[in-house]
Structures are given as C-alpha cells and as structure tokens.
Structure 1
Amino acid sequence: MRLLVVGAGSTGGYFGGRLAQAGRDVTFLVRPARAALLREKGLQVVSPHGDFTLKPQLVTAGEIKAPYDVILLTVKAYSLDDALDNLAPAVAPQTMILPVLNGMKHMDTLAARFGKQATVGCVCKVAATLDIEGRILQIAPFQDLAYGEMDGALSPRMKELDQFMQDAGFDARLSSDIAREMWEKWIYLAALGGVTCLMRGTIGEIEAASGGTDFVHRFLDEVVATVRAVGSQPSESFLTEVRAILTTKGSPQTSSMYRDLQKGAPIEADQIVGDLLARARKAGVATPLLATAYTNLCVYQNRLVK
C-alpha cells in the first residue's frame, strides 16, 4: 500500500515517520518551507520509544502525479479546505482517507467532497510538538492510532489497512466501534478545551478554585447531553474516567487549544466548541456554559483577524 501523509508536523510526522522507519511506502505532502527543512535536516523524531532521523519522500502542492491507497490527513481544522484542494489529485475511487482532525465536522466535509466511501473513521492519541529546530518531540509515552469503518463493518480494506499499520513502532488498532470513539474524543476535547480556555487555567487550578469542580461537572454534563442527542452514546467507563481526569487535584493538564491561545496562535474553536454548540441548538439541548465558552473564544479569534 502507498500512504500519503498530509502534513509532517507533530502528529503526521510522528506516525508517518514511524511507518516509514518500518519500511512502509510513505510520502509526505508538505508546504515548501517545511519541505526545504526536511530535505536539509531530515525528519527528526525525539521519543521515549527511541529517537530516529530519516530522509522522507516529499511532495508539495501540484506535484502529486498518481493516486494513493491511503491518505492520513493530519492538518489543523482551519487548514482543511486548502489541504483538500492540494490532496485531491491523490484520491481515486479506492482511496481511504483517515482524518485525525478534532470534532466531527470534517467528516461531513470529506464526504461532501470525495464521498462517504472514501472516509474512514480514525482516532489518534499522541502528545508531541515541534521544537524551534523543526524536530518532533514526543512528550508522553502513549502513541495510539485506531481506525475502522464508520458502520463498524470488518471490511477487506480494513483488514488490509490493519496489516499495513501493525508492527510499525506504535500501537495500531482496528476498531469495530470507531464512531463511538470519535464522539468520545470530541467530548473530552470540548470539555477540556472549554473549561481551561474559559477559566484560563490548568485542571488543577480550576479544581482548587471556589466552585471549580462543580463548574467542570456542569460543563461536561452539557457536552455529554449534546452528544447523546446527536451522536453515538459514550460508555459509562469513559465518562467516569473523563470526570476523574478533569477534576484531578494539582493536575498541570491543559488543552492544546488553551496552549495555542496563550501563544496568540489560531485555535480550533469553531470545530471543537462551535460546531458542538450548533448541533446542541438544532437538537434543542440547553448549553449555556458551552455557549459562554464559544463566545469567549470568538472574542479571541476576532482579535487575530484584525
């Protein structure tokens, strides 16, 4: 199988790099500046599971000459439209697109552009970042990639994809319930992002504040009520785990959206919070805290475009 990884940042670079290191046929679609750096210094990964550097196969927009079997889509949601234009020549009727974007809005966008058959459910869990030298730093040991048909079918193409992903230096898993896993990840990201951005603090700081734990529970309740009304039902074990994580005493945890906000960088407010709010309103679910968080994030976003 031939894999095109769209983006060679912390997520695409990590999983794509591991697959390339394992001998898979991997090409990265990147911007010219990133391509120049990778050609000069190679794709460098610093990881608890072992550091490595490799010379990746690269293409930039307009250089794709033939379709790929699999596309791992790892861009930020606000860059999705441009990315789809750039990767379109790589899509054939049999191509599988695995998006690791946040939320669920991108699934509708992909289906509208390339058809539902092209889209595969996907959830990744990795804590990584780019340093000032362009290296990928894995900052926690977990490195999970789950994938599957949205209807749960164990199709021949999923078996082939699973074989491609196995034994590549990370935890790869074929899921028969990937839709639920995607909705659960959205619950976690919306709650974590919403509470840390609205309160401008870590989980531990929010828990220690007067009314902080009650606020977190009420915020999570709104998110869960929305997903129960419009998406797949989360498991009780997942909800128990998330409540514990979001109210842990002394926890330094924040969301990537909060960290981007602190840096003055673009954020995925529309995809992580705004889209969920829109679905809640359409379903008639009352979400005053979610609405407050989205308004707060919109104030920040509006400053960026001035």
Structure 2
Amino acid sequence: MLDACVSSGIEAELSSDIERGTWEKSVFLVGLLVTATAVRQPIGVIRSDVHSRELLRDVMAEAVSVGSADGVMPNPEFSVERLAFCDTLPAVMTSLMRDDLTQGNRRVRPLLSGGVVDLGREFGIPTLRKRGVGSRP
C-alpha cells in the first residue's frame, strides 16, 4: 500500500505508532475546527488576533492534555509546535464546519472536537466547552 501511494505521488509513510499519529493530527484539526467555527474566521485572521490566537492555542493544548491522559501524547509542548505550524498555512484556510455555519447550515457535527470533549470529561480534564465556549449540535 505504501508503495502504491508513493508511486502515485501521494506523500505517505508507515507509522509504528498509529494512535500517536492520529492524536497529533487531531490536535491541529480540532484546533482549527473549533476556533474557525467559534470566531467564524479563516486561520489568517485567527492567528493575527491576540484573543483568537489564544483560543486556538488553548484548544490545541487541551487536545494534547486529553491525548496525554489517554496515554498517547508524551510531549506536552506539541501544541506550541502546532501553533507554529498554523503560522505557515495560507491565510484563507478554514474548516468545513465554519463554512457550513456561516452559510446557515448545521450539517457538520463536530466529531473530532466532541470526541476530545467526551474524553476530557472521562479523564476529568476541563475543555473549552466545559467552560462555556462552543457547542455541540
């Protein structure tokens, strides 16, 4: 399978720790999903505003905390690395959930962020939703 992806021009690699890889991707995806939807702005606006940037950082840090409690995320500074990654993204990047919401649709259920909230509750880790930010349809 790896050979087929690489030979087709798809950047791919084998992972010896798929759970960690999944959590690492989730930290960024949950951060973008929640923040872009909450402030209804693309990443360029989010990262340039001190308050929305702080929200993005906090959401990613919470995902790292939940992943750590799940025994998968050993690096507590991973959210700082992901925030730096966000600074390299095209300013217009956003999330489908944000786009749906701004267009008046509520079809996209926040599965990723909801999963982090649910696991956070299970592990006793407060999340933004628990503090009154965001909602789950």
TM-score class normalised by the smaller sequence: 0.7 to 0.9
Distance 2:122 2:39 in 1: 27
| Cα pair 2:65 2:76 within 8 Å, conserved | no
* Residue 119 of structure 2 is aligned to residue 272 of structure 1: no
- For residues 60-75 of structure 1, what are the structure 2 equivalents within 5 Å? none
The alpha-carbon distance between structure 1 residues 275 and 250, as it changes in their structure 2 partners (threshold 3 A), is: closer
Partner of 2:94: 254
Distance 2:90 2:21 in 1: 28
1:193 to 33, 38, 41: 33
Normalization by structure 2: what TM-score? 0.78
- For residues 130-209 of structure 1, what are the structure 2 equivalents within 5 Å? 161-209=1-49
Distance 2:74 2:29 in 1: 14
| Cα pair 2:57 2:79 within 8 Å, conserved | no
* Residue 33 of structure 2 is aligned to residue 212 of structure 1: no
Normalization by structure 1: what TM-score? 0.39
Q: What root-mean-square deviation, in Å, do the aligned CA atoms of Structure 1 and Structure 2 show?
A: 2.8
Bigger Rg, which one: 1
Instruction: Write the deviation string for residues 86-133 of structure 1: whole angstroms up to 9, x where unpaired.
Output: xxxxxxxxxxxxxxxxxxxxxxxxxxxxxxxxxxxxxxxxxxxxxxxx
Q: Note the C-alpha offset of 1:195.
A: 0.8
1:229 to 61, 69, 72: 69
- Higher fraction of strand: 1
Instruction: Write the deviation string for residues 148-187 of structure 1: whole angstroms up to 9, x where unpaired.
Output: xxxxxxxxxxxxx334444123223222122211111111
The alpha-carbon distance between structure 1 residues 249 and 207, as it changes in their structure 2 partners (threshold 3 A), is: farther
| Cα pair 2:31 2:59 within 8 Å, conserved | yes
The alpha-carbon distance between structure 1 residues 215 and 176, as it changes in their structure 2 partners (threshold 3 A), is: same
Partner of 1:284: 124
Instruction: Write the deviation string for residues 37-84 of structure 1: whole angstroms up to 9, x where unpaired.
Output: xxxxxxxxxxxxxxxxxxxxxxxxxxxxxxxxxxxxxxxxxxxxxxxx
Matched-pair identity in %: 27
Instruction: Write the deviation string for residues 178-226 of structure 1: whole angstroms up to 9, x where unpaired.
Output: 2211111111111111111111112222334452332322222222111
| Cα pair 2:60 2:79 within 8 Å, conserved | no
| Cα pair 2:39 2:52 within 8 Å, conserved | no
- Higher fraction of helix: 2
Distance 1:172 1:246 in 2: 21
* Structure 1: gaps of 5 or more residues: 1-160, 299-306
* Structure 2: gaps of 5 or more residues: none
The alpha-carbon distance between structure 1 residues 245 and 173, as it changes in their structure 2 partners (threshold 3 A), is: closer
AA at the equivalent of 1:181? G
| Cα pair 1:213 1:247 within 8 Å, conserved | no
The alpha-carbon distance between structure 1 residues 245 and 256, as it changes in their structure 2 partners (threshold 3 A), is: farther
Distance 1:198 1:278 in 2: 19
Distance 2:101 2:44 in 1: 19
Report which stretch shifted further, 217-226 or 241-250. 241-250
Q: Which has the higher contact order (CA 8 A, sep 6+)?
A: 2
